[in-house]
Structure 1
Amino acid sequence: MAKTRTQTIGAVRRTFSPWTDATATPLIRFENVVKRFGAFTAVNNVSLDIYEREFFALLGPSGCGKTTLMRMLAGFEDPTEGRITLAGQDLSGVPPYRRPVNMMFQSYALFPHMSVADNIAFGPKQAGMAKADIDARVEEMLTLVKLESFAKRKPHQLSGGQRQRVALARSLATRPKVLLLDEPLGALDKKLREETQFELMDLQMELGMTFLIVTHDQEEAMTVADRIAVMNHGVLVQVDPPAAIYEQPATKYVADFIGDVNIVECVVDGCFGGDLRLSTPITPHPLQIAQGDAGGVKTGDKVWLAIRPEKLRISLEAPDAAAGNCFAGEIFDIGYLGDLSVYHVELPCGTRIKVSQPNLSRMVERPISWEDKVYVTFTPHAGVVLSR
């Protein structure tokens, strides 16, 4: 049974992309939204569409405006300019308790004097549901988050992960159209956080609800979201599925913010067929890079080459001429992370680049060590040329 469910979830996630359908109607729409606090602009002219059943992530550093955007959707803040609609309804003037959304806070905000069951029942009671319906809803939520045997416990008798599940069940008990998650996994340890990310994904698919998560954790956003909006200084920098955000960043900021990356300043020497030839002070030889989406650049332009560490290859032996682009350098530092090793290679000009390699076999003796002379190579398709 579990296998069938997994296959079903996989099939849905592979084909789910309403944002590519020009006829699809967004569930949530931010239209030229601005939010100012005095002279400070927290959100600056944001327009964004989020679709029904989408797991959407707002990602960015502290102070970038992502939480303010969520709070405006929840009704805790009012836009200074622009408007927000939900299922076609303008939310201007609609108080939080009248909106079909619910928020799960980072602190969980559970009532300490109430049992798990009573915490979950709080929302339905406030909504005026009949007692029999409330009892059925609480039982349903406890089963959903696998806490059936914890119904009578108080929050202080639960682990952090269990409290997180109670907060999630309480948020879902009123069956909102949209669930807002404000850094929901920040209080969990790394292993539990990773496990819970996949549970959240499965739960969202099972319920068929729209989830909007705010996080500064790049791995969390990349794991759970159908699409990610990267924010910086109140502005949307890029909105795309996780693979596009990682492999085709729109700017240096996005490339640098998402995962590890080497960013090399270059000048365009020319374009040959589908490749750009770039000159850079870190190597005497020009680099050949597949042009990709950098079609707007021309000879003489300053650009930046972004290369992920895992796209590079490292060797103690000099490559032959057909190996492609090459840097020669010396091992400055090594990080052993178990599943992979990270090498910091210092080039003759003093620049350091990072190379990561999977540890495919058990390491008895380190093949590449400190101060070794090494060669780093990469193919023309390994890097992305950025003009801003």
Structure 2
Amino acid sequence: MAKKPIGPVRRSFAPWDDPEAVPFIEFKNVTKRFGDFTAVDNLSLKIYEREFFALLGGSGCGKTTMMRMLAGFETPTEGEIFLDGQSLAGVPPYRRPVNMMFQSYALFPHMNVEANIAFGLKQDNMPKDQIADRVAEMLRMTKLETFAKRKPHQLSGGQRQRVALARSLAKRPKVLLLDEPLGALDRKLREETQFELMNLQEELKVTFLIVTHDQEEAMTVADRIAVMNSGKIVQVATPGEIYESPNSLFVADFIGDVNLIEAKVQERSATGTRLKAVHGDYVIDSGQETDASVGDTVWYAIRPEKVRMSVGEATAGTPNTANALVWDIAYLGDMSIFHNKIGDTSMRSTVANVARTVEQPISWDDKVTLSWDGDAGVILTG
């Protein structure tokens, strides 16, 4: 029986679930030190051909160093990197079938769009007729045909981004590396470009590796995400699995918005676990088993959209319900975020604004019942 995916899956492509699949890119026990500072710490990772893979983490976590080692701009202190079955040790950047697109785009200001795209092809001494055909193909794929004769300063930020992308793809690399490629774009254009990147990657069937600190960007474009912290990978999974089943407090807190409820294990059974909240008089019945013993402290991670709200007080002793006081409300148009006080702690909940007007709205200082399903959250031990 096939494993049921957690969360929506962008496409059926999933070679990482095939034990016979051979990785296209592989980091084997790679460490990179800069003096006394360890940027990447004994890291191993497998990425598959045609995968859109994201390295996600905060500043200084080691994600850009990993990309630069793959590109050949940095050399591992220890370990080895393989591409398409071949070790990259000693292979200079210009000999690697890899191209890199930088956040700054690095376009030549004195060249028009066509010339920028053709530059690398000319450096490789490709015949002129083939260069013309390849440039025309790249212009079509990136929707830049009408801008071919313009200089970079005559283009918008989104158009310059597409020129840089076209130039990076023109040489038909086996791997395209994208270093924070959309950081300079405004939010709306960034969202539009994310979908363009996804469609382009599927059409070209090129392996994409994107480095980003933007969680939404990684979850939108990537087949899988590696969440990094302090030079280590803490979880590798699909966006849905990362969001719905984080494997640690760090991942749960780093990805999206989450309520982390400190609790004590009250009962354990083959069908689940009962927890008693440390702050607030309520219990949590979870269908999840845990390795923690009775009496141990754990955390119950539940996303705000999984928490329901209703006016009035909960029936005492009812599992997965808590009495709360609405402390603050943020109206964001498509949804509203409620900060609800439970004793000396709070629990956030979100409500989708599905109607333009709301009858009997929940407002500040209202007493409410918060409730959730038994499988809505996950139990984390650290």
TM-score category of the 2 structures, normalised to the smaller one: over 0.9
For 2:5, the equivalent position in structure 1 comes to none
- Structure 2 counterparts to residues 1-388 of structure 1, below 5 A: 13-291=10-288, 294-319=289-314, 324-348=319-343, 350-363=344-357, 367-388=361-382
Question: Match of 1:278, SS?
Answer: strand
Q: Distance in 2 between matches of 1:122 and 1:366?
A: 64
1:322–1:143 distance in 2 versus 1, CA, 3 Å: farther
Q: Distance in 2 between matches of 1:42 and 1:371?
A: 48
Shift of 1:227: 0.2
Question: Match of 2:305, SS?
Answer: helix
Q: Distance in 1 between matches of 2:28 and 2:347?
A: 41
Q: Distance in 2 between matches of 1:323 and 1:212?
A: 47
CA-atom RMSD in angstroms:
1.4
Q: Distance in 2 between matches of 1:128 and 1:379?
A: 63
> What is the TM-score normalised by the length of structure 1?
0.94
Shift of 1:327: 1.4
Q: Which runs of 5+ in 2 are unaligned?
A: 1-8
Shift of 1:366: 6.6
The aligned amino acid for 1:146 is: K
Q: Check whether the contact 1:324–1:378 (CA below 8 A) recurs between aligned residues.
A: no
Q: How many residues get paired?
A: 374
Q: Distance in 2 between matches of 1:230 and 1:220?
A: 13
Q: Distance in 1 between matches of 2:319 and 2:124?
A: 65
Q: Which runs of 5+ in 1 are unaligned?
A: 1-11
The superposition leaves residues 91-129 of structure 1 with CA deviations (integer Å, 9 ceiling, x where unpaired) of 011010000000000000000011000000011111110
The superposition leaves residues 155-191 of structure 1 with CA deviations (integer Å, 9 ceiling, x where unpaired) of 0000000000000000000000000000000000000
The superposition leaves residues 65-107 of structure 1 with CA deviations (integer Å, 9 ceiling, x where unpaired) of 0000000000000000000000011101101000000000000
Q: Distance in 1 between matches of 2:60 and 2:347?
A: 29
The aligned amino acid for 1:297 is: A
Q: Distance in 2 between matches of 1:323 and 1:114?
A: 69
Q: Distance in 1 between matches of 2:316 and 2:18?
A: 46
Q: Distance in 2 between matches of 1:323 and 1:184?
A: 49
Q: Check whether the contact 1:323–1:377 (CA below 8 A) recurs between aligned residues.
A: no
Using the TM superposition, name which of 378-387 and 49-58 deviates more.
378-387
Q: Check whether the contact 1:25–1:51 (CA below 8 A) recurs between aligned residues.
A: yes
Identical amino acids, percent of aligned pairs: 64
Question: Match of 1:284, SS?
Answer: coil
> What is the TM-score normalised by the length of structure 2?
0.95
Q: Distance in 2 between matches of 1:44 and 1:338?
A: 43
Q: Check whether the contact 2:264–2:278 (CA below 8 A) recurs between aligned residues.
A: no
Question: Match of 2:184, SS?
Answer: coil
Question: Match of 1:142, SS?
Answer: helix
Shift of 1:149: 1.0
Q: Check whether the contact 1:266–1:302 (CA below 8 A) recurs between aligned residues.
A: yes
Q: Distance in 1 between matches of 2:360 and 2:193?
A: 35
Question: Match of 1:15, SS?
Answer: coil
Shift of 1:363: 2.5
1:266–1:320 distance in 2 versus 1, CA, 3 Å: closer
Question: Match of 2:281, SS?
Answer: strand
Shift of 1:281: 2.3
1:159–1:323 distance in 2 versus 1, CA, 3 Å: farther
Q: Distance in 2 between matches of 1:364 and 1:251?
A: 38
1:124–1:75 distance in 2 versus 1, CA, 3 Å: same
Q: Distance in 2 between matches of 1:184 and 1:168?
A: 9
Q: Distance in 2 between matches of 1:266 and 1:364?
A: 35
Q: Check whether the contact 1:324–1:379 (CA below 8 A) recurs between aligned residues.
A: no
Q: Distance in 1 between matches of 2:212 and 2:320?
A: 37
